[in-house]
């Protein structure tokens, strides 16, 4: 038998590595002894990464029956959910039939943000699981989930089992088991499970996607994406129910907790799950140099924050590197603490050209030349901006949501559902992009050891085709004019 990486680990687990390599270094000894010292949850991550699950039905490219009117229920009505209520109310062919939050005050506030008539928006509130009662209604087509992370997958699975399409805020799942449950439920019910990755609808990201589709970059060699956003101190809350969940995430998990903003756009450019696939990854985190200092600083002002001193905070900077089956590499970073300018990196390096957006302005270079000047960039945009931007850019900017990409994401999803088109980001994307979180946790805990990335398509990636951005089909959903100013 050939001793490749998978067989090596399998043999090591079965026979003991000492029998195979009697003279191993201290670092190797730590690595191979990890199964005895890692927390139970992290050992389970490794086991789950190598489990296989047969495909019931290929959801990539699946076109669900048309919905002339998309009846929507929205769960989780904080800032993201409230914004979604407002944006969705602008789209023709949408009826917001229900909204749900544990806090009734949040639901009432969100309902007031509806900007057009004929949205009954019945409120479900008062209990932690009020969403279950709402999901059981028969007059709902799409459940739009903007809750804390730990509820994304449970609500998504439950809603699909009740016969609803679901749209899940990022990450779509926190564990490998949840990723597989989303996949298997979507395949069994033939209901879409869409990940609400708004960065895939940023105007420059869409431009670079269309450039890649037209061979502008040549062969893609390397890409980079990130979530670098200074919000660390703001994670500490008092007196704001429902807000402390994100601090808890940063105290209990050490890895790339928010990978999809960076991975989603470059993943589409590299045709992941559609002719290409992620193979394995490694991940490394720095120590925490700042979160504990924030806790100490805040505790000087109020004793409440003393409970957070010396908590096991995640490392401030996480860098994860992914290798695809085609031999390409992807760098994904996560840092919400250090005083750095906002950046998603968004870098594409090919054999013919390079593009980069952050942390400076968008720029493109061809061959070994300098960055294109403003005039050359404008000409490139005019030639290669996809129809989605040409049609919707102005109205998306006017309605807004992170510069317009939120509205563009919502409009595109509704247009696909109303025209019976395959969605841009299906359940395999939701699972593959989200699973980087738990996999990075395991790698960080094991001296940046490599771990395979599950193939949620079960090999269908070899025949799946990239999603359509041409607007040759659909594109006929209008924005309502009876908007309350």
**With the CA atoms of 134, 137, 140 and 146 taken in that order, what torsion angle do they form, in degrees rounded to the nearest 10?**
10
Residue by residue, DSSP assigns 383-413 as HH--HHHHHHHHHHHHH-SGGGHHHHHHHHH
pLDDT band at 29 (very low <50, low <70, confident <90, very high): very low
pLDDT at 13 over 80: no
* 309-344 pLDDT, tens digit each: 999 999 999 999 999 999 999 999 999 999 999 999
**Predicted local distance difference test score (pLDDT) of residue 484:** 75
The contacts of residue 468 (CB under 8 Å, 6+ apart) are 421, 422
Angle 306-310-312 from CA coordinates, rounded to 5°: 125
pLDDT at 34 over 70: no
The contacts of residue 337 (CB under 8 Å, 6+ apart) are 230, 232, 288, 289, 290, 291, 316
What are the angstrom distances between the C-alpha of 361 and each of 343, 347, 374, 379, 477? 11, 12, 11, 16, 32
**Cα–Cα distance for residue pair 142/56, rounded to 1 Å:** 22
Is 88 or 18 the better-scoring residue by pLDDT? 88
Angle 190-409-112 from CA coordinates, rounded to 5°: 100
**Predicted local distance difference test score (pLDDT) of residue 238:** 74
Is 158 or 242 the better-scoring residue by pLDDT? 158
pLDDT average, residue stretch 296-300: 94
pLDDT at 466 over 60: yes
Q: Are 275 and 466 in contact (CB under 8 A)?
A: yes
Residue 150 half-sphere exposure, CB side, CA atoms within 13 Å? 12
**Predicted local distance difference test score (pLDDT) of residue 241:** 52
Beta strands (DSSP E) in 24-156 are: 70-75, 94-101, 122-125, 142-145
Sign of CA dihedral 81, 83, 84, 90: positive
pLDDT band at 244 (very low <50, low <70, confident <90, very high): confident
What are the angstrom distances between the C-alpha of 217 and each of 209, 314, 326, 382? 10, 36, 16, 17
The contacts of residue 296 (CB under 8 Å, 6+ apart) are 309
Instruction: Read off the tokens for 414.
Output: 């509704």
Q: Is 422 exposed, middle or buried (0-12, 13-18, 19+ CB in 10 A)?
A: middle
What are the angstrom distances between the C-alpha of 483 and each of 3, 414, 479? 65, 18, 9
pLDDT band at 225 (very low <50, low <70, confident <90, very high): very high
Instruction: Read off the tokens for 203.
Output: 């105007």
pLDDT average, residue stretch 40-59: 92
Q: Is 233 exposed, middle or buried (0-12, 13-18, 19+ CB in 10 A)?
A: middle
**Cα–Cα distance for residue pair 283/450, rounded to 1 Å:** 8
Q: Which of 41, 172, 14 is nearest to 442 (CA)?
A: 41
Q: Which of 169, 180, 194 is nearest to 261 (CA)?
A: 169
**Bridge pairing between strands 278-285 and 451-452:** antiparallel
**Cα–Cα distance for residue pair 336/316, rounded to 1 Å:** 7
Mean pLDDT of the chain: 91
Q: Which of 362, 255, 212 is nearest to 39 (CA)?
A: 255
Residue 386 half-sphere exposure, CB side, CA atoms within 13 Å? 24
Q: Are 210 and 466 in contact (CB under 8 A)?
A: no
pLDDT band at 220 (very low <50, low <70, confident <90, very high): very high
Task: Specify which residues 228 forms β-bridges with.
Answer: 335, 343
Q: Which of 343-347, 397-401, 403-407, 437-441 has the lowest mean pLDDT?
A: 397-401
User: In order of start, what are the domains of the chain with their CATH numbers?
Assistant: 199-385+436-462 (3.30.360.10)
Task: Specify which residues 284 forms β-bridges with.
Answer: 319
Is 182 or 9 the better-scoring residue by pLDDT? 182
The contacts of residue 372 (CB under 8 Å, 6+ apart) are 363, 364, 365, 366, 380
pLDDT at 371 over 90: yes
pLDDT at 234 over 80: yes
Query: What share of the chain in percent tops pLDDT 90?
Result: 82
**Bridge pairing between strands 94-101 and 122-125:** parallel
Chain centroid to Cα 337, Å, comes to 20
pLDDT band at 192 (very low <50, low <70, confident <90, very high): very high
* 257-266 pLDDT, tens digit each: 999 999 999 9
* 115-156 pLDDT, tens digit each: 999 999 999 999 989 999 999 999 999 999 999 999 999 999
């Amino acid at each position: 038998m050939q001793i490749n990486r998978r067989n090596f680990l399998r043999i090591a687990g079965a026979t003991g590595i000492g029998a195979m390599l009697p003279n191993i270094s201290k670092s190797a000894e730590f690595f191979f002894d990890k199964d005895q010292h890692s927390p139970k949850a992290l050992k389970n991550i490794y086991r789950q990464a190598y489990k296989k699950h047969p495909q019931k039905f290929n959801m990539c490219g699946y076109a669900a029956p048309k919905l002339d009117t998309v009846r929507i229920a929205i769960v989780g009505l904080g800032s993201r959910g409230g914004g979604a209520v407002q944006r969705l109310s602008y789209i023709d062919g949408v009826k917001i039939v229900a909204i749900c939050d544990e806090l009734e005050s949040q639901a009432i506030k969100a309902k007031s943000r509806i900007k057009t008539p004929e949205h009954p928006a019945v409120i479900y509130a008062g209990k932690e699981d009020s969403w279950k009662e709402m999901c059981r209604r028969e007059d709902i087509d799409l459940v739009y989930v903007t809750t804390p992370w730990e509820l994304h997958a449970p609500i998504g699975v439950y809603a699909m089992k009740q016969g609803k399409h679901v749209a899940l805020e990022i990450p779509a799942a926190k564990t490998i088991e949840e990723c597989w449950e989303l996949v298997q439920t979507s395949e069994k019910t033939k209901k879409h499970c869409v990940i609400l990755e708004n960065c895939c609808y940023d105007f420059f990201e869409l431009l670079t996607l269309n450039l890649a589709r037209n061979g502008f970059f040549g062969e893609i060699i390397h890409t980079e994406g990130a979530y670098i956003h200074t919000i660390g101190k703001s994670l500490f809350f008092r007196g704001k129910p429902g807000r402390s969940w994100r601090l808890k995430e940063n105290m209990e998990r050490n890895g790339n907790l928010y990978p999809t903003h960076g991975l989603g756009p470059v993943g589409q450019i590299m045709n992941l799950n559609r002719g290409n696939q992620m193979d394995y990854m490694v991940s490394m985190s720095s120590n925490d140099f700042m979160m504990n200092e924030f806790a100490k600083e805040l505790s000087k002002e109020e004793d409440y924050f003393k409970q957070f001193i010396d908590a096991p905070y995640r490392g401030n900077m996480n860098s994860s590197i992914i290798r695809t089956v085609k031999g390409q590499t992807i760098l994904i970073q996560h840092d919400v603490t250090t005083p750095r300018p906002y950046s998603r990196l968004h870098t594409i390096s090919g054999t013919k050209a390079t593009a980069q957006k952050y942390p400076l302005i968008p720029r493109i270079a061809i061959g070994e030349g300098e960055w294109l000047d403003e005039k050359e960039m404008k000409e490139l945009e005019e030639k290669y901006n996809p129809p989605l931007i040409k049609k919707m850019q102005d109205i998306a900017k006017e309605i807004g949501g992170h510069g317009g990409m939120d509205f563009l994401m919502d409009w595109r999803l509704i247009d696909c559902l109303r025209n019976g088109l395959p969605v841009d980001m299906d359940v395999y994307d939701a699972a593959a992009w989200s699973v980087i979180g738990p996999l990075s946790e395991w790698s960080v805990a094991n001296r940046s050891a490599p771990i395979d990335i599950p193939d949620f398509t079960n090999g269908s990636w070899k025949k799946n085709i990239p999603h359509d951005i041409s607007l040759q089909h659909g594109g006929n959903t209008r924005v309502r004019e009876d908007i309350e100013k």
